[in-house]
């Protein structure tokens, strides 16, 4: 039986990045195969024979880890930044190179997953799988029933109509909104369409996982059954 795997998949499995980002790294000449820079996409390797280098390090598959963080405001969801911004990876001290699954805006708080499992991260981020994301939103002013109904039906943004959502009133100026799309600043833009403004935004659920009692800035490893939930949902 062949042991060949695509180079981008191997990079993802080694925790370098998600598969799509791995293609960019290969095309940019940042990956070496058996001592030589490789730029061709779609190259297959035998992990038992071939040597792959990235950033001067010889790669081998790490133990997969999965972490839930209650992201504070003021941190960006990236692993590096040239403006000396505070990174979510600064909050999680583990002896592995990890990266965030998807993104939350700098001022958005709540549930963020981090992992070194590039394959799983890629499936969780891909829009084709339509993973639910639930946000609690504090608003500038009281929201009307008509506005809630508009959010639930979908609203027209400059990049197209949003898919139907679940919108619930939690208080006069507080709602929850569940969407499965991942457009840039989508929740804030949806709220603006119904003539209101987000004061604070917190993600409390993602792909079947719930933030629950994790305090702001705290993190924990996912439980075995939670990893199973993610794996099953990412394949469905």
Tokens of 98: 């990890």
Which of 13-17, 36-40, 214-218, 219-223 comes out lowest in average pLDDT? 13-17
Lowest mean pLDDT, pick from 12-26, 148-162, 207-221: 12-26
Q: Residue 1: pLDDT above 50?
A: no
Distance CA 70, CA 92 (A): 11
Q: Into how many domains does the chain fold?
A: 3
Measured from the Cβ of residue 157, the count of other Cβ atoms closer than 10 Å reads 15
CA angle in degrees (0–180, nearest 5) for 62-19-65: 30
Same domain, 29 and 10: yes
Residues 150-161 pLDDT 10s: 999 999 999 999
Same domain, 159 and 225: no
Q: Tell me the two tokens of residue 233.
A: 């949902």
Say if residue 42 is in the same domain as residue 153: no
Domain encompassing residue 13: 5-58
Q: Interior CA angle at 99 toward 190 and 224, to 5°?
A: 95
Tell me which DSSP letter residue 130 carries.
Answer: -
- HSE on the CB side for 89, CA within 13 Å? 18
Alpha helices in 58-164 (DSSP H): 118-125, 145-153
What are the φ/ψ torsions at residue 69 (nearest 5 degrees)? -120, 140
For the ranges 47-61, 133-147, 187-201, the lowest mean pLDDT is seen at 47-61
Q: 38: closest CA among 83, 3, 75, 7?
A: 7
CATH of the domain at 144: 3.30.70.1560
Q: Does residue 94 share a domain with residue 32?
A: no
Catalytic residue numbers, as ranges = 105
Contact 190, 133 (CB under 8 A): no
Q: Are residues 123 and 219 in the same domain?
A: yes
- Is 80 exceeded by the pLDDT of residue 3? no
* CATH number of the domain bearing residue 31: 3.10.290.10
- Residue 21 phi/psi, 5° resolution? -65, -35
pLDDT top residue among 118 and 216: 216
The residue ranking higher by pLDDT, 32 or 95, is 32
199-226 b/e with 16+ CB inside 10 Å = b? eebbbbbbbebebeeeeeeebeebeeeb
Q: What local confidence, expressed as pLDDT, does residue 2 receive?
A: 58
pLDDT tens, 84-140?
789 999 999 887 788 999 889 999 999 999 998 888 888 888 777 778 999 999 999
Residue bearing tokens 């002896």:
95
Instruction: Tell me: do 72 and 121 sit in the same domain.
Output: yes
């Amino acid at each position: 039986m062949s042991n060949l795997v695509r180079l981008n998949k191997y990079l993802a499995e080694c925790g370098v990045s998600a598969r799509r980002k791995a293609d960019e790294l290969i095309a940019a000449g940042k990956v070496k195969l058996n001592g030589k820079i490789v730029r061709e996409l779609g190259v297959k390797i035998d992990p038992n024979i071939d040597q792959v280098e990235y950033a001067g390090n010889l790669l081998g598959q790490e133990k997969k880890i999965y972490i839930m963080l209650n992201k504070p405001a003021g941190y960006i969801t990236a692993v590096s930044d040239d403006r000396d911004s505070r990174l979510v990876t600064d909050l999680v001290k583990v002896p592995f190179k990890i990266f965030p699954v998807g993104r939350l805006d700098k001022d958005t708080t709540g549930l963020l997953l981090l992992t070194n499992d590039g394959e799983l991260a890629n499936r969780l981020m891909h829009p084709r799988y339509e993973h639910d994301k639930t946000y609690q939103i504090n608003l500038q002013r009281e929201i009307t029933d008509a506005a809630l109904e508009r959010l639930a039906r979908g609203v027209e943004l400059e990049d197209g109509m949003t898919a139907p959502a679940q919108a619930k009133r939690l208080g006069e100026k507080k709602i929850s909104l569940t969407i499965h799309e991942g457009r840039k600043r989508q929740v804030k833009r949806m709220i603006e369409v119904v003539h209101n403004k987000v004061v604070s935004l917190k993600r409390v659920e993602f792909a079947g996982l719930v933030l629950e009692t994790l305090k702001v800035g705290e993190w924990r490893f996912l439980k075995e059954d939670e990893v199973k939930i993610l794996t099953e949902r990412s394949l469905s």
